[in-house]
Amino acid sequence: MKKYSLLILALVVVFTATAQEPKWQSLFNGRNLSGWTKLNGDAEYKVKDKTIIGISKTKTPNTFLSTKKKYDDFILEFDFKVEDGLNSGVQFRSHSLKEYNNGRVHGYQFEIDPSDRKWTGGIYDEARRGWLYPLTNNKTGGDAFKNNEWNKARIEAVGTSIRTWVNGVLCSDLLDDGDSEGFIALQVHGIGNNEKLAGKTVSWRDIRILTKDVEKYRTAVTNENVAQINNIDNTVSEREARDGWKLLWDGKTSNGWRGAKLDEFPAKGWTMDNGLLKVHKSDGGESTNGGDIVTTRPYKNFMLTVDFKITEGANSGIKYFVDTNLNKGAGSAIGCEFQILDDEKHPDAKLGVNGNRKLGSLYDLIAAPTNKPFKKGSFNTALVIVKGNHVEHWLNGVKIIEYDRNTQMWDALVKFSKYKDWPNFGNAEEGLILLQDHGDEVWFKNVKIKELD
């Protein structure tokens, strides 16, 4: 009887352990490409030694080997290896629709990047919004990839949360509500006419997916040194709130804002609709319609993010250290400005000195680089960081300028700018934050601030 009891106990333990194991599904049978279909380009895919091998080819666009099935919430794991010089990626929650760019594959992409940039594991929105999570500030994640060796990838897509790992190292932590389902696809990136890259390979093996009890098997993330990017409009995530971020504009009302030359919010020239704060088109002049809007309280040390989208030929700006008492006459309120401009179409781009009135510049003082990562026709993210006298401008995750105030060099720079007549310009300890009405239609959203010690 004792033997039977021990046998039953052993069977219960085995059954319990088995029941708790994740139920992985293999997406690749190791023999052929059954269950997959090729889209868009003419690069070659073949199977060898239980591995899918993609081979680059000249004069063909990006090529994708797509699953025939679509997936919503999942955990996806695969091994990958890529030759130097060849960019690649793995699409997920992606689509190929006739009505969208004649079937062009678009959607989330796990980046495979063997270049010195080291953005493998970043998240790119193929053929649509571009970079959603570059590894600009995640050196540890960027260093996880091993050139010319097999690497292990993990993607967890659960609801609006998307996280990626390379060789067990967290690379991306993204919140985004763009797509809830779609196919998975293996990319061979186009190489144009570059014969030197022809025939290079990217390989995948051990491709498996988990679609049941996904929440149960998600990885517990304790390393909050890896930044979270929240793309869900006008929200602050739990993690952002713990980190001190707050909405500076709530996405619905004018709470916390007033006209720069008014005690209340402008009655005209600005609208709030469907999560967008829009300044209306007027005559192209400074503050000649609704006028600039400013926060109702000043800020000292902070990180400020603003998503903005410009219409053709538009001019606007994000100002900080603003003192609305300085300019009581016509024109904009006075403060340091992160310039927002259509560099191609607005005449102000050709004025100033060495491009210091172009997009991203500290207006009329310090020029942003010409190769800045601006996304034409899309929303872009401006970030201004102020720590005492040190200030940085970032655009779409890339630092484009930095400077120090309250120095002889700063004062000399101001002396030869349009701000030379304003006393102690830019040296104030604190000031208001401003969104500019320059007579052109510009849209804002996701206006957030984190105050620093």
The range of the structural domain enclosing residue 264 comes to 243-451
In the chain, the amino acid numbered 440 is D
Instruction: Tell me, rounded to whole angstroms, the distance of Cα 74 from its chain centroid.
Output: 22
Q: Are residues 136 and 268 in the same domain?
A: no
For 200, phi then psi, to 5°, come to -75, 155
Residues 317 and 406 in one domain: yes
Residue closest to 352 by CA, chosen among 404, 417, 297, 430:
417
In a domain, 5, yes or no: no
- Each residue's pLDDT tens digit, 347-396: 999 999 999 999 999 999 999 999 999 999 999 999 999 999 999 999 99
- Does some domain include residue 12? no
306 and 278, same structural domain? yes
Neighbour-count burial of 82, counting CB atoms closer than 10 A to its CB (0-12 exposed, 13-18 middle, 19+ buried):
buried
Verify that 127 and 162 share a domain, yes or no: yes
Q: Are residues 178 and 281 in the same domain?
A: no
Nearest residue to 36 (alpha-carbon basis) of 20, 52, 55, 21: 52
Average pLDDT, the chain: 94
User: Is residue 47 located within the same domain as residue 157?
Assistant: yes
Segment 28-86, tens digit of pLDDT: 999 999 999 999 999 999 999 999 999 999 999 999 999 999 999 999 999 999 999 99
User: How many residues are listed for the chain in this entry?
Assistant: 453
Q: Beta partners for 51?
A: 48
H helices, E strands: number in the chain: 4, 29
Establish if 237 belongs to a structural domain.
no
Domain count, the chain: 2
User: Can you list the pairs that 342-350 forms with residues at least 24 positions away whose Cβ atoms lie under 8 Å?
Assistant: 342/310, 342/311, 342/312, 342/313, 342/314, 342/315, 343/374, 345/312, 345/313, 346/313, 346/314, 346/315, 348/315
**Amino acid identity for residue 4 in this structure:** Y
Task: Give pLDDT tens digits for 190-212.
Answer: 999 999 999 999 999 999 999 99
Give yes or no for a contact between 399 and 290, defined as CB atoms under 8 angstroms apart: no
Decide: helix, strand or coil at residue 445.
Answer: strand
User: What is the per-residue pLDDT across 275-303, written as a single tens digit (0 to 9) for each?
Assistant: 999 999 999 889 889 999 999 999 999 99
Q: Which residue has the higher pLDDT, 6 or 345?
A: 345
3-state secondary structure 159-201: CCEEEEEECCEEEEEEECCCCCCEEEEEEECCCCCCHHHCCCE
Residue 193 lies in a domain: yes
Q: Are 259 and 201 in the same domain?
A: no
For residue 154, tell me if it sits in a domain: yes
Residues 326 and 421 in one domain: yes
Task: Tell me the per-residue pLDDT of 241-272, one tens digit each, with 9 for 90 and over.
Answer: 999 999 999 999 999 999 999 999 999 999 99
* Together in a domain, 447 and 354: yes
- Asked whether residue 9 is assigned to any structural domain, the reply reads no
Beta bridge partners of 55: 44, 201
**Nearest Cα to Cα of residue 65 among 43, 39, 91:** 39
CATH number at residue 252: 2.60.120.560
How much is the average pLDDT of 440-451? 98
118: left (phi over 0), alpha (psi -120 to 50) or beta: left
> How far is CA 77 from each of CA 1, 51, 101, 176, 317, rounded to the nearest angstrom?
46, 14, 30, 21, 43
Are 337 and 407 in a shared domain?
Answer: yes
Segment 303-312 shows an average pLDDT of 98
Q: Is position 16 within any domain?
A: no
Among 65, 81, 84, smallest CA distance to 27 is for 65
Q: Are residues 111 and 226 in the same domain?
A: yes
Report if residue 14 sits inside a domain. Answer: no
Percent of the chain with pLDDT over 70: 96
Confidence of residue 19 (pLDDT cuts 50, 70, 90): low
Residue 163's DSSP bridge partners are: 156, 173
Q: Which amino acid is at 192?
A: G
Say yes or no: 63 and 135 in one domain: yes
Distance between CA atoms of 29 and 32, rounded to whole angstroms? 7
Please state, in angstroms and rounded to a whole number, the distance separating the CA atoms of residues 234 and 210: 31
